Structure 1
Amino acid sequence: MIHEVDEAIRRMLVAAGVPGGGGELSFDAPTKDWAARRNAPTVNVFLYDIREDVMRRHAGGVESYDDEGVLIGWRGPARWFELAYLVTAWTNRPQDEHRLLSEVLACLVRVERMADEWLTGTLAELGLGVILNSAQPPDGRATSEMWSALGGELKPSIDLKVIAPLAGEWTKAGPPVTEGVVLETAAQSGERSRRLRYEGPTTADGDGFAVTRPKPVPGPRRRRGGAIR
């Protein structure tokens, strides 16, 4: 799921023309070594935190059917996670960095929900949507401490939060029932067991629980010691 969110962010920025003019888009950690190897204007989108959104947790699964309406399996409930990204711009001059970061900010604040064409894999299959929150008030995660851990100098950045679903476990259904119902009764002492077979559908018609079937036509009756009538 995480790599699918990365791809959705990449498609969103590319669709907005960010970064333009031969710039690059990177998801690497912006360390000193990475910054030294950079040789073009770059927008860096660094994933630094993953937390579950427990308020969105729920029970129950979803049934899945094929094109003919046959049940093929069940998908367990999705779990929602908040992915936190640090978005920065890297150029040779602060003015250019601010201009590039402004383009990124303009793109992010216009999007509150990822477009369907940006989603791939399980994110597209689930159809539950991916939510974006950009440049929101801090929630206790100190940016300065993060830069210290990366070993780099403090830079202006945009805090991007992406709330996305993680697909639940898939359970495959067994093959559909195509035969009738067979009932066997236990035999009592001295009696033969009875075996009843009902051909045809096993689902009920109408309001009852049993399938409506035509009554069999009784055969000819024969009196004891007499001819068949």
Structure 2
Amino acid sequence: MIHEVDDVLRSLIRAEVLEGGQVAVVFDAPTREWAAKVNAPMVNLYLYDIREDMRRRERGLHNEYDERGVVVARRRPPRYFKLSYLITAWTKRPEDEHRLLSSLLACLLRYEALPPARLTGSLAEIGAAVPLSIALPPPEDRSFADVWSALGGELKPSLDLVVSVPVTASPRYPAGPPVGDESLDVRLGEGLGT
């Protein structure tokens, strides 16, 4: 499912931001060593954190129906995981990087969720929205300077993209047979009263 989100983000950025330009879209850790080898313009989406989105967790079971509308099984509801990407632009001039970041921000602000038409594989099969947020303040337990420090790189202008992905991998609990239309005849026997 993570690779499917990567694919959607790559195709969205290529189609709506880069528009066929000669800028690569990569998912590498922007370490100091990596940055030293960059020799062509690129957009980097580094996946730096994966956490469950506890605000979206549901309890109970969801019904599965057959073609007649009869419940045939039950499953737990999807659990959502927040994939946090650090988006950076890499060019020879800071002004070009700023323009590229501006275009990326404008593109991603147009969407509350990944565009359904771009979803493939299990993301498309689920049929649920895949929410995203861009450039929100970092949570109190983490700062972007910490991410850059952990990578051994120098602080660089970046966008923080968080995609909440539904994961439906759960056991399937078969339902019992449907209740029929037969009636139940209850008779009280003699001598039950005084």
Q: TM-score, normalised by structure 1?
A: 0.70
Q: In the alignment, is residue 151 of structure 1 matched against residue 128 of structure 2?
A: no
Counterparts of 1:146 and 1:26 in 2: how far apart (Å)?
18
For residue 26 of structure 1, report the CA deviation from its aligned partner.
0.6
Counterparts of 2:72 and 2:4 in 1: how far apart (Å)?
25
For residue 16 of structure 1, report the CA deviation from its aligned partner.
0.6
Q: Which residue of 1 aligns with 2:135?
A: 135
Q: Which residue of 1 aligns with 2:29?
A: 29
For residue 27 of structure 1, report the CA deviation from its aligned partner.
0.8
1:27-79 CA-to-partner distances (Å, cap 9, x unmatched) read: 11111222233232100011111221212211223333455667664332211
The structure 2 residue matched to 1:204, chosen from 167, 172, 181, is 181
2:133–2:162: 8 Å Cα contact kept in structure 1? Answer: yes
SS in 1 for 2:138: coil
Q: Which residue of 2 aligns with 1:45?
A: 45
For residue 11 of structure 1, report the CA deviation from its aligned partner.
2.4
SS in 1 for 2:12: helix
2:79–2:166: 8 Å Cα contact kept in structure 1? Answer: yes
Relative distance call for 1:111 and 1:124 in structure 2 (3 A) is: same
1:43–1:89: 8 Å Cα contact kept in structure 2? Answer: yes
- Structure 1: tracts of 5 or more residues without a match: 178-200, 211-229
Counterparts of 1:209 and 1:25 in 2: how far apart (Å)?
67
SS in 2 for 1:33: helix
1:2-27 CA-to-partner distances (Å, cap 9, x unmatched) read: 22222222222123143742110011
Counterparts of 1:167 and 1:154 in 2: how far apart (Å)?
37
2:17–2:104: 8 Å Cα contact kept in structure 1? Answer: no
Aligned length: 184
SS in 1 for 2:129: coil
Structure 1 residues 66-75 or 79-88, which shifts more?
A: 66-75
Identity %: 50
Q: Which has the higher helix share?
A: 2
Counterparts of 1:15 and 1:68 in 2: how far apart (Å)?
42
2:112–2:132: 8 Å Cα contact kept in structure 1? Answer: yes
For residue 106 of structure 1, report the CA deviation from its aligned partner.
1.0
For residue 107 of structure 1, report the CA deviation from its aligned partner.
0.7
For residue 137 of structure 1, report the CA deviation from its aligned partner.
1.9
Segments ≥4 residues shifted beyond 6 Å: none
